[in-house]
Amino acid sequence: MVKKRNAVGFLMAMAVVLSLFSGCSGNNSGAGGSSQASAGGQNQAGNEKVAVRILTRYSNPDNVREKYFIDRVAKFKSENPDIDLQDISVSDENSRDTKFKTSVASGNPIEVFNFLGYAANIDYVKNGVVADLDPLFKEDPEWTENYKKSLFSPVDYSAYGIEGIYGIPTTPYGVCTFYNKAIFDKLGIQIPETWEQIEAAAPKLIEKGITPMAFGAKDNYRGGHFLTALSMKVYGDDLKDKLISGEEKWNGKNTVSLISYMKKLYDEGVFGKNNLAYTADGELAKLESGEAAICFSGSWNIATINGFSNAKDIVCKGFPYFEAHQENKDMWMGGPDDFLAISSKPGDADYDATVKVLKYFSSQDYWQGLYEVQKGSGTYPVSFGEVIPADTLTNGFNEYYNSAANVIGEIEQYDKMAALMDVVRTNMQTIFSGSKAQEIGDVIQGEVDNYLAGNK
């Protein structure tokens, strides 16, 4: 008899559980954020905590900047017992995308998230996933008064007829180059700042068993960054504009010549071997161990490099330029590409809590804390009243970056085709497994044509 009662109890439990599901067939289409929000409101009425999720790419406690974020999350939680702040950050880019996109598809997007801005993400703005922050900025002018105004342009969509500001910049970056000076000193070579010099120095380095320039192509963004940075040094932002307008094709002469040059460097051994076996972290490891002499990277790695055992041997300069294109020496890839944004709208039950979280992680106090933790190194979206004397790497970086005549993000970011970035990056990767430049251009252009055909 006992067993039987258990069985009946189980059946009842199942019925309850399944009734949860049965709601979904009728209620599926277009149930937007509002029904979710009202459900949240009921919870709140019951004196429960308001849940706010935050999604960033900071989840690695070994990294100074990410550790700082993690600590601040803990601090926020202890200071705000009424808000249940759920940190679902993940450093892996694909995992971050999956999390964000599944939440958007559900009609219940993550409340505070890192938004990537630019034309590539206009769909999220157009369809009301990302909230306009402009009214908040106007309400609380002190909040953003120290932010560098130019950093907001990628989240300003007025060029597309959409008013408002859709994010607040986090750490801006610049694509730069780190050199292991000790290696060059030992070989009696000047640090090569141009591609011509790098090509000349390469054989001497290779002869000593040193990879001239580490290239961790296993992270596919490396190829994407390289292409844009290189295009700036050859064409300025002209090529970007023409590619976006369609005037220049991805398999056109100019683009292919850039890819060919990259392939030529690879064939000459400038990037060493087995590039698809290691990541950007591997590049830094090679730079530290002396296996590689140069590493093109970005300002976001300055803090990590300062932690190297041989940090004093490392020198920071701009991305190499061409003697043949002196005029584009100060053309940079960089800028802000990571913004904090929110999905909650005024009236939502979690709106106040969401805004509180957003302000907390973008306040002057937040950046001041990071500035102190990083001992003045790295780059920041705000200016500080009291300047901490920075390390030599940061100073080296700033010396170059401050003279930048023009700074753009990765070319694909300016294109409305959201998939373009992945297409370009994964195809640039194939340089390291034997693809020809023209092939790569053709494949990318093929994808672009498919997209255009499907969106007429």
CA separation for the pair 232, 287 (Å, rounded): 25
Smallest distance, another protein to C-beta of residue 9, A? 12
Pick between residue 88 and residue 182 the one whose CB is nearest to another protein.
88
Span 411-430, contacts to another protein by CB under 8 A: 418-419, 422, 426-427, 429-430
C-alpha of 213 from chain center = 23
Span 125-144, contacts to another protein by CB under 8 A: 126-129
297 counts as binding another protein under rule CB under 8 A: no
Pick between residue 355 and residue 431 the one whose CB is nearest to another protein.
431
67 counts as binding another protein under rule CB under 8 A: no
CA separation for the pair 201, 292 (Å, rounded): 13
446 counts as binding another protein under rule CB under 8 A: yes
Pick between residue 170 and residue 275 the one whose CB is nearest to another protein.
275
Pick between residue 86 and residue 197 the one whose CB is nearest to another protein.
86
For 435, phi then psi, to 5°, come to: -70, 150
Question: Which member of 38, 42, 98, 406 binds another protein (CB under 8 A)?
Answer: 98
Which span (54-62, 255-263, 373-381, 392-400) binds another protein, by CB under 8 A? Answer: 54-62
Instruction: Give the bridge partners for 156, in sequence order.
Output: 165
Which span (7-15, 184-192, 244-252, 380-388) binds another protein, by CB under 8 A? Answer: 7-15
Span 249-278, contacts to another protein by CB under 8 A: 273-278
Sign of the four-CA dihedral 300, 305, 307, 313? negative
Which span (13-21, 133-141, 172-180, 242-250) binds another protein, by CB under 8 A? Answer: 13-21
Span 169-188, contacts to another protein by CB under 8 A: none
CA separation for the pair 314, 305 (Å, rounded): 8
Instruction: Give the bridge partners for 333, in sequence order.
Output: 408
List the x/- string, 72-91, binding to another protein by CB under 8 A: --------------x-x-xx
Span 25-44, contacts to another protein by CB under 8 A: 25, 27-28, 30-32, 36, 39
For 111, phi then psi, to 5°, come to: -65, -50
Span 216-235, contacts to another protein by CB under 8 A: 217-220
Name the residue type at position 345: K
CA separation for the pair 117, 339 (Å, rounded): 7
Angle 151-377-298 from CA coordinates, rounded to 5°: 60
97 counts as binding another protein under rule CB under 8 A: yes
Smallest distance, another protein to C-beta of residue 431, A? 9
309 counts as binding another protein under rule CB under 8 A: no
Pick between residue 91 and residue 158 the one whose CB is nearest to another protein.
91
Smallest distance, another protein to C-beta of residue 352, A? 20
Smallest distance, another protein to C-beta of residue 261, A? 19
